[in-house]
Structure 1
Amino acid sequence: MIKFVLMISKSNRTCFSRYFEDRELKERVILESDLIRTILARKTKGCSFFDYHDLKIIFRQFASVFIVCGVDEEENEIGILEFIQLFVEILDSYFPKVSDFDIMLNLEKVHIILEEMLSNGHITETRKGHILSQLGLMDSNR
């Protein structure tokens, strides 16, 4: 199960967060600051996953943004890397060039994309065309 999805900028801030389990705000701040320090300190050629307390952290960098997923022990690391890749491909298809600025200006759209892909922390939709068509329908109704 995916416990949370974060988008972190190279400038040491969280651009986007979605948690699928209850965590106190103070705990979230500590978690996010620890992850930011750890991920930014890692070598670019290093492994994209590591253990953090009772979670596995899986991340990828795209331009100036890191997509980070915290998952439980049973989750497949390669499967989550594929999920992250698909998430970014959808963001790239929907927005001209994904940057931390685009994310912060379109938080609602990023949440909608993620909600189309995940339900309660479980991957439910992986068809890129279907997700983009749902977004197109929402845009045409506005």
Structure 2
Amino acid sequence: MILAALIMNTQGKPRITKFYDHVSVERQQEILRVVYSVLSSRSGNLCSFVEADDIFGPDTKLVYKHFATLYFVFVIDSAESELGILDLIQVFVETLDRCFKNVCELDIVYNFGKVHTILDEIVMGGQVVETSSAEVMKAVQDIWKLERVGELNPANIRGIGHYKNSRS
């Protein structure tokens, strides 16, 4: 299972954090500090897997890729394949590149909602649900199209909108 997905810059500032189990805000901040400390101290020629027993408990690993000024990090348990997660990170970054035309840190900062939508199309509840960048983009574009026309506005969701209209 995927326990967390993190994007942080090379100064340790978190840009996207998604924990798939309940973790208190204080614990999340502590985790981010420790993860950054571990990643920033590693040489570029080392593998992209790090044991994370001290951070998340037994049989956990950090799987990460460093692109330009960003670290893309997935925290996994022993049920996940490290190489599979590296491929998943590649799919995530390729999808972001397709969406933002050579994604950079500012794209993530100013479009965090879109980034979360893309991540949610790839991983849901800690389980991988889609590994095709093209399929993810198609689903995300459909969601954004619905948001633009207002069909995903909470007032228009069945039940809420119906209740409002029936009282008018």
Q: Same fold (TM over 0.5)?
A: yes
Shift of 1:15: 0.6
Shift of 1:140: 3.0
| TM-score, with length taken from structure 1 | 0.95
Q: For residues 60-79 of structure 1, what are the structure 2 equivalents within 5 Å?
A: 60-79=65-84
What residue is the counterpart of 1:35 in the other structure? 35
In structure 1, how many angstroms separate the alpha carbons of the residues matched to 2:86 and 2:36? 18
Structure 2 gap segments, 5+ residues each: 149-168
Shift of 1:139: 3.1
Aligned residues: 142
Deviations 1:94-117 (A, max 9, x none): 012212211010110011001111
Deviations 1:44-70 (A, max 9, x none): 111111111222111001111110010
What residue is the counterpart of 2:46 in the other structure? 46
What residue is the counterpart of 1:94 in the other structure? 99
In structure 1, how many angstroms separate the alpha carbons of the residues matched to 2:79 and 2:123? 17
The structure in which a higher percent of residues are strand is 1
Taking only aligned residues, the RMSD between alpha carbons, in angstroms, comes to 1.1
Structure 1 gap segments, 5+ residues each: none
The structure in which a higher percent of residues are helix is 2
Contact 2:121 2:140 in 1 (8 A): no
Deviations 1:60-103 (A, max 9, x none): 01111110010112211000000001000000000122122110
* Structure 1 runs (4+) greater than 3 angstroms displaced: none
